[in-house]
Amino acid sequence: MARRQMHADLNLVPFIDLFSTLICFLLMTAVWNQIEALSTNVESVTSSDSPAPPDPNKVNLTVTIMRDRIEMAENETAYKFAIINDKLPLDKVIRGLEVWREKYPARKDVILNTENEIPYKYMIATFDTLVGNGWSDVGVNTQ
Amino acid sequence: MSGFKTSIRRIVAAPGYHIHPKHDLKALRKRLHGGKHKGHLGDLPLTSMIDMFSMLCIFLLMNFASTGEVFFISKNLKLPEASHSRPIESNPLITITPTTVTLDAQNVGNRNISMEERSGDMEQLRRALARIKAQQEQERPDKPFKGNVNIQADENTPILHIKRVMNSLISEGWTGINFAVRLDEKAQQATERIEE
| Number of structural domains in chain B | 1
**Running along chain A, 143 residues long, what does each successive block of 10 average in pLDDT?**
65 86 86 80 52 71 92 86 90 92 90 92 94 90 85
Residue B38 burial (10 A CB sphere; 0-12, 13-18, 19+)? exposed
Domain annotation covers residue B32: no
Domain span holding position B87: 81-186
Mean residue pLDDT across chain B: 78
Domain annotation covers residue B114: yes
Asked if A39 and B176 come within 8 Å (Cβ–Cβ), the reply is yes
**Which chain B residues have a beta carbon less than 8 Å from that of A12?**
46-47, 50
Per-residue pLDDT at B119: 72
Per-residue pLDDT at B5: 53
Q: How many angstroms separate the CA of residue A41 from the nearest CA in chain B?
A: 5
Domain annotation covers residue B4: no
Least-confidence region, from A43-47, B24-28, B41-45, B65-69 = A43-47
What are the DSSP calls for A20-57, one per residue? HHHHHHHHHH---S-EEEEEEEPPP--TT--PPPPPTT
Domain ranges of chain A: 61-140
**How far is the C-alpha of B114 from the C-alpha of B118, rounded, in Å?**
14
Among A27, A120, A143, select the one facing B60 at the smallest CB separation: A27
Contact A117/B at CB under 8 A: yes
Does the ipTM surpass 0.85?
no
What's the CATH number for A61-140? 3.30.420.270
* pTM, two decimal places: 0.70
Asked if B80 and A121 come within 8 Å (Cβ–Cβ), the reply is yes
Domain annotation covers residue B30: no
Domain annotation covers residue B40: no
Domain annotation covers residue B10: no
Asked if A121 and B162 come within 8 Å (Cβ–Cβ), the reply is no
Q: How many residues does chain B have?
A: 196
| CATH number of the structural domain spanning residue B98 | 3.30.420
* Angle (deg, nearest 10), helices A120-132 and A90-103: 40
